[in-house]
C-alpha cells in the first residue's frame, strides 16, 4: 500500500490554512505515525484564537477537505480548538495523540 507523502500533505495544508487567526496545525493519528491503511482519515488538530475564528475555518476546511480527498484519496478529519476548549477538554487521549503528532504550522 502506498503511504501518504507527508511532505506534500504538509505543504498543501500549510498553504491552505495560513490565516492570521490559525495559531497551530498538527497532523496526528495513523497518518502521522506512518501506519495508515487505505481508508484512514487524516486527523488534523487546528488551534484558533476564539469561537468566531472556529466559524471562519469552515469554508477553507471544506475546500481543503475536497482537495485532500481528490489528491490523496483520504478524508480529512479536522479537530478545531480554541485555548479555552483545550483547557476544558475531557478527552486527554486526544490531546496526547496531538502532542505526538507532526507540526505543520505554529505561530
**Global confidence as pTM:** 0.93
13-41 pLDDT per residue, tens: 999 999 999 999 999 999 999 999 888 99
Mean pLDDT of 60-81: 95
Whole-angstrom Cα distance, residue 69 to residue 96? 26
Q: Domains of the chain by range and CATH? A: 6-106 (3.30.460.10)
Burial class (CB in 10 A: 0-12, 13-18, 19+), 21: middle
**Cβ atoms of residues 41 and 76 within 8 Å:** yes
Amino acid at each position: 500500500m502506498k503511504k501518504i507523502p507527508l511532505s506534500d500533505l504538509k505543504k498543501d495544508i500549510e498553504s491552505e490554512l495560513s490565516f492570521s487567526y490559525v495559531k497551530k496545525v498538527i497532523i496526528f493519528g495513523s497518518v502521522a505515525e506512518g501506519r495508515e491503511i487505505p481508508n484512514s482519515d487524516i486527523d488534523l488538530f487546528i488551534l484558533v484564537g476564539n469561537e468566531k475564528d472556529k466559524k471562519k475555518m469552515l469554508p477553507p476546511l471544506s475546500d481543503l477537505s475536497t482537495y485532500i480527498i481528490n489528491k490523496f484519496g483520504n478524508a480529512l478529519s479536522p479537530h478545531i480548538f480554541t485555548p479555552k476548549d483545550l483547557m476544558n477538554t475531557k478527552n486527554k487521549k486526544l490531546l496526547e495523540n496531538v502532542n505526538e503528532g507532526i507540526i505543520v504550522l505554529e505561530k
